[in-house]
């Protein structure tokens, strides 16, 4: 799975990318190497330990802002104080440099999270620090803060120009028309690229200033990869931002494909399949090069914009589309084996960010997509598509709500070597069912520390946890095998209604995303791990006398249905290694 480039090809790509914001015909896949508050899971030392595995599948890793933002604990870094001091809640500068070098030796580059729309002072709102780089001292002052910044109403007198974009109330909005601001930013980007070793930039909150400044900075830095966070579902606005980065008529940055993300939410998450026919960067031949596609990120996963269901299928979709796919950290950890196979298929077909979509559309109760790669054609079926011919194709990988096919002549022999190292879920012994009541369990992540856990549970008409955030306090019932605390929520009787959503928090913050409620569900910070089945393993035997054969996990979760008459081999074909139950028999896949 490693990338092999000749020096000539690599040099050509670097020269091309440096001038135009993102490489054309790029075959790489990016990992967002963090989630919100993932300080333990994705600190620099932990990411470095995972280099052998991650480097086999990803070409780029986007990490959070590594500049010092006032503290080195519980701080995501989006209000930076220093730029040239690279110590943050995810690790020290030495750990950062070590991680970047380890991955660089394996052919993987890092994308820095760049926050230059705004900045905080050391002690007050505007006491920006003096920092020295290459013998030159850099410092911002009140003349570099937009005159309409909110500090002007709080005792300060900024004298910069009017903000060229949207305001940000959490820190001082910088005046990018200022030559001093531009000099500071240029030096900062040079430091990140040529000293720290980043290969590209992810620009935060680019709605906050005119896009031409991103173009100016990127042209000066000659950066290989650049992507802007223009958070908007209107594709015309995102295209306008991309075009606004032009310098000498040449686009200087890609953008995250937020329009496509919202189509994915509606289509794959809610079954509104025609939404995938909407206009996005990835679906436009003129902009697919500048599309960085994604299912979720650290913000959407926690603010109500997350993909509501069928996460594996959603990742299969971005892996089958033009553009450069960016896999969210939590999805990678939750669906690792499936995503590994998707990446394998994408690279086997020779997919690039500029390959053309051959055919697409709603079909039956689902959607299909056919894209021509450099080595063959990839066919993706989403949902329930039964009337589309797959003649000339072979099934490469499949899962809930998706099947990925490739041309018969595409070599996918190595896909069977991708084995699952995920252990089947087993409900901890300390977790006991509650007859006739709503209940759920939560395994507390390490980075939450100690403290009481609260539950917030609801449906469209009623709240089952008092109606006042953060809800009701849970009860600690034990500890998991990996040493994490387990808390239990017990609600009212099941006759009072059926919940649809559930959130766990440490007395309000931090909190999980909105999870789909499951009776007796065992959740961690990524979502549902397993449940006490309402039907239970004891009732599985009856399924063999009906029209379908059902495959269950050891926790009683239905995994798959097969038509009557199917063999055990057919029923378990393609499942990850582990233990399953068919009837009352345990089946082990090694």
Number of domains into which the chain is organized: 3
The helices-and-strands tally (H runs, E runs) of the chain is: 12, 30
Is 398 among the domain residues? Answer: yes
Angle formed by the axes of helices 212-221 and 179-191, nearest 10°: 50
The reply to whether 496 and 581 lie within a common domain is: no
pTM of the complete model: 0.81
Residues 471 and 584 in one domain: no
Domain-located, residue 152: no
What crossing angle do the helices spanning 336-349 and 311-320 adopt, rounded to 10°?
Answer: 20
558 shares a domain with 506 = no
Residue 44 inside a domain? The answer is: no
End-of-domain residue from the set 483, 507, 531: 531
Check residue 565 and give its pLDDT: 66
**What pLDDT is recorded for position 166?**
97
Residue 194 tokens, joined? 């040529």
Same structural domain for residues 386 and 446?
no
**Do residue 348 and residue 465 come from a single domain?**
no
- 510, 531, 552 — which closes off a domain? 531
Q: How big is the chain, counted in residues?
A: 590
pLDDT attached to residue 510:
85
Q: Is 200 left (phi over 0), alpha (psi -120 to 50) or beta?
A: beta
CB atoms within 10 A of CB 373: 23
225 in a structural domain: no
Determine, yes or no, domain membership for 67. no
Running DSSP on this structure, what letter comes out for residue 113? Answer: E
Contact (Cβ atoms closer than 8 angstroms) between residue 157 and residue 213: no
- Could you read off the pLDDT tens digit of each residue along the chain, which spans 590 residues? 444 333 333 443 444 434 479 999 999 999 999 999 899 899 999 999 999 999 999 999 999 999 999 999 999 999 999 999 999 999 999 999 999 999 999 999 999 999 999 999 999 999 999 999 999 999 999 999 999 999 999 999 999 999 999 999 999 999 999 999 999 999 999 999 999 999 999 999 999 999 999 999 999 999 999 999 999 999 999 999 999 999 999 999 999 999 999 999 999 999 999 999 999 999 999 999 999 999 999 999 888 788 988 999 999 999 999 999 999 999 999 999 999 999 999 999 999 999 999 999 999 999 999 999 999 999 999 999 999 999 999 999 999 999 999 999 999 999 999 988 777 788 999 999 998 999 999 999 887 889 999 999 999 999 999 999 999 999 999 999 989 999 999 999 989 999 999 999 999 988 887 888 999 999 998 788 888 753 344 333 333 444 467 777 655 666 676 766 667 777 777 777 666 777 656 676 76
**What pLDDT is attached to residue 578?**
67
Enclosing domain of residue 356: 1-32+257-332+341-418
| pLDDT given at position 256 | 98
Domain holding 491: CATH number?
2.60.40
Residue 555 has a pLDDT of 54
Residue 481 and residue 400 share a domain: no
Residues 272 and 386 in one domain: yes
Whether residue 515 is contained in a domain is answered as yes
Torsion of CA 150, 154, 158, 163, to 10 degrees: 10
> Are 345 and 444 part of one and the same domain?
no
Same domain, 511 and 555: no
Residues 459 and 396 in one domain: no
Domain identity same for 451 and 527: yes
Give yes or no: residues 507 and 552 share one domain: no
What distance in Å separates the CA atoms of residue 364 and residue 464, rounded to the nearest whole number? 38
CA angle 560, 562, 567 (to 5 degrees): 115
Bridge partner residues of 476 (DSSP): 487
Tell me the sheet residues that pair with 75.
Answer: none
Q: Quick check: is 499 in a domain?
A: yes
In a domain, 403, yes or no: yes
Q: Which residues pair with 399 in a beta bridge?
A: 402
State the Cα–Cα distance between residues 172 and 165, nearest whole angstrom.
13
Other beta carbons within 10 angstroms of residue 86's beta carbon come to: 22
For residues 321 and 25, the answer to whether their CB atoms sit within 8 Å is no
Pairing state between β 225-228 and 254-256:
parallel
């Amino acid at each position: 799975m490693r990338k092999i480039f000749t020096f000539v090809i690599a040099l050509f790509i670097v020269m091309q990318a440096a001038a135009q914001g993102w490489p054309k015909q790029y075959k790489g896949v990016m990992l967002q190497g963090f989630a919100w508050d993932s300080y333990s899971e994705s600190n620099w030392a932990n990411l470095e330990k995972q280099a052998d595995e991650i480097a086999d599948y990803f070409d780029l890793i986007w990490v959070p802002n590594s500049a010092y933002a006032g503290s080195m604990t519980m701080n995501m870094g989006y209000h930076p104080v220093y730029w040239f001091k690279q110590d943050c809640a995810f690790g020290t500068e030495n750990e950062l440099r070590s991680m970047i070098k380890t991955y660089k030796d394996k052919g993987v580059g890092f994308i820095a999270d760049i926050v230059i729309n705004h900045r905080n002072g050391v002690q007050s709102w505007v006491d920006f620090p003096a920092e020295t780089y290459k013998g030159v001292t850099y410092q911002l002052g009140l003349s570099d803060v937009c005159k309409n910044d909110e500090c002007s109403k709080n005792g300060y007198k900024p004298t910069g120009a009017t903000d060229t974009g949207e305001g940000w109330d959490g820190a001082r909005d910088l005046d990018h028309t200022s030559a001093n601001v531009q000099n500071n930013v240029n030096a900062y980007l040079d430091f990140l690229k040529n000293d720290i070793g980043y290969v590209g930039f992810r620009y935060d909150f680019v709605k906050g200033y005119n896009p031409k400044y991103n173009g100016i900075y990127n042209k000066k830095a000659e950066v290989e990869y650049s992507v802007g966070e223009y958070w908007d579902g209107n594709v015309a606005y995102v295209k306008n931002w991309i075009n606004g980065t032009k310098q000498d008529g040449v686009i200087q940055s890609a953008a995250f494909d937020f329009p496509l993300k919202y189509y994915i939410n509606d289509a794959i998450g809610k079954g509104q399949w025609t939404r995938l026919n909407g206009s996005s960067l990835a679906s436009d031949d003129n902009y697919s090069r500048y599309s960085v596609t994604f299912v979720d990120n650290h913000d959407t996963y926690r603010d109500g914009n997350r993909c509501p269901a069928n996460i594996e299928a959603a990742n299969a979709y971005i892996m089958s589309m033009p553009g450069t796919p960016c896999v969210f950290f939590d999805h990678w950890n939750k669906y690792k084996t499936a995503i590994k196979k998707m990446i394998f298929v994408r690279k086997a077909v020779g997919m690039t960010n500029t390959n053309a979509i051959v055919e697409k559309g709603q079909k039956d109760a689902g959607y299909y997509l056919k894209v021509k790669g450099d080595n063959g054609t990839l066919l993706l079926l989403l949902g329930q598509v039964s009337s589309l011919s797959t003649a000339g194709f072979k099934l490469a990988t499949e899962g809930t709500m998706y099947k990925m096919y490739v041309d018969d002549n595409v070599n996918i022999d190595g896909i069977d070597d991708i084995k699952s190292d995920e252990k089947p879920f087993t409900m901890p012994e300390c977790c006991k069912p509650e007859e006739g009541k709503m209940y759920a369990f939560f395994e507390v992540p390490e980075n939450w520390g100690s403290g009481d856990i609260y539950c917030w549970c609801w449906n469209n008409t009623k709240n089952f946890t008092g109606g006042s955030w953060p809800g009701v306090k849970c009860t600690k019932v034990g500890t998991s095998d990996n040493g994490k605390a387990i808390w239990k929520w017990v609600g009212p009787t099941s006759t009072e209604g059926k919940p649809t959503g559930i959130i766990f928090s440490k007395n309000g913050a931090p909190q999980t995303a909105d999870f789909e409620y499951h009776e007796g569900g065992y959740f961690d910070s990524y979502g549902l791990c397993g449940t006490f089945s309402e039907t239970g393993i004891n009732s599985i035997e009856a399924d063999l006398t009906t029209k379908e054969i059902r495959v269950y996990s050891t926790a009683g979760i239905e995994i798959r249905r097969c038509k009557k008459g199917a063999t055990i081999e057919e029923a378990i074909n393609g499942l990850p290694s582990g233990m399953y139950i068919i009837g009352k028999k345990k089946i082990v896949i090694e």
